[in-house]
């Protein structure tokens, strides 16, 4: 049953933003409806226990997949997680590969991001004061290191590093666009990694991507190109393994943060009160 959160019942240590297949990795789940200054999040937030830690899960597209990538309420999702006490976020997602080296089923933990979206609200600080945050390294270094290590221990051969280019969607790339991205040296293409990462940084949250390659992008693959059925099929075939990895990473993340993410707002005066 959905109900407003209380500090005792709904505080969470860690957050996961992902697909509906991640519900079942939590125990003793309760669902809460949270309102934010940016509207409601994608859906009710599930909060449960995992290895003695409270984890909040946001279904990125909504549990019925009703939000296309360019319409996801990104600001509400991250704000809601922070309001629950979350300070570290894991973000599993399906991506395309821009190189034949990384075929379907490959796990990648990129260290760079390129924004090719348009029209998405991508800041909390668009009035009241100019807040300029460092985003040279968009992902949490501690989270990435732990994710790579946990993946190797679980039997993956993860790609450590690389650049994720985020496109507007909801359509897939043309062959020309795909080849252009690859020519820049970018290795992965997705539709949801931005503005999630930058909004997390603006809230001083750690954000770690876990990218599962579901297809070779249009400029790399021969034939008809990428299809939604193909993406869903490969993601479904790997969801249990990816879910286990998320649990392993959560178990390994430190309770106390020493990474730069926690200090991203030091010396600044945000024009809004953060939760």
The residues that are catalytic are 215, 217
Q: Residue 217 burial by CB count (10 A; 0-12/13-18/19+): exposed, middle or buried?
A: buried
- The DSSP call for residue 272 is S
Please give the Cα distance from 202 to 257 (Å, whole number): 16
- Distant-in-sequence, close-in-space partners of 59: CB < 8 Å, separation ≥ 6: 18, 19, 20, 22, 23, 42, 43, 46
Tokens of 100: 């034949």
Nearest CA-CA partner of 47 in 23, 19, 64, 82: 23
In angstroms, what is the C-alpha Rg of the chain? Answer: 18
Helical packing angle, 228-252 and 141-153, nearest 10°: 100
Nearest CA-CA partner of 86 in 125, 51, 57, 123: 57
Decide: helix, strand or coil at residue 85: coil
Please give the Cα distance from 108 to 212 (Å, whole number): 6
What number of CA atoms fall less than 13 Å from residue 163's CA on the CB side? Answer: 14
């Amino acid at each position: 049953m959905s109900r407003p959160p209380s500090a005792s019942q709904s505080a969470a240590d860690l957050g996961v933003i992902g697909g509906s297949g991640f519900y079942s990795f939590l125990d003793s789940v309760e669902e809460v409806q949270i309102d934010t200054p940016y509207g409601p999040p994608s859906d009710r937030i599930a909060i449960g226990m995992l290895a003695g830690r409270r984890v909040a899960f946001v279904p990125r597209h909504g549990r019925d997949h009703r939000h296309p990538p360019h319409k996801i309420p990104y600001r509400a999702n991250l704000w809601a997680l922070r309001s629950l006490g979350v300070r570290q976020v894991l973000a599993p997602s399906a991506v395309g590969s821009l190189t034949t080296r990384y075929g379907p089923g490959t796990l990648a933990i990129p260290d760079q991001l390129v924004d090719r979206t348009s029209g998405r609200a991508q800041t909390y600080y668009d009035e009241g004061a100019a807040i300029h945050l460092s985003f040279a390294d968009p992902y949490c270094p501690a989270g990435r290191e732990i994710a790579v290590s946990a993946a190797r221990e679980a039997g993956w051969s993860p790609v450590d590093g690389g650049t994720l280019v985020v496109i507007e969607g909801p359509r897939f790339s043309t062959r020309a666009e795909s080849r252009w991205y690859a020519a820049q040296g970018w290795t992965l293409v997705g539709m949801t990694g931005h503005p999630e990462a930058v909004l997390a940084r603006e809230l001083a949250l750690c954000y770690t991507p876990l990218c599962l390659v579901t297809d070779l992008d249009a400029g790399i693959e021969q034939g008809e190109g990428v299809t939604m059925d193909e993406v869903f099929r490969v993601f479904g075939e790997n969801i249990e393994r990816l879910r286990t990895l998320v649990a392993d990473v959560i178990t390994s993340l430190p309770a106390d943060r020493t990474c730069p993410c926690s200090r991203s707002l030091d010396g600044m005066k945000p024009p809004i009160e953060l939760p």
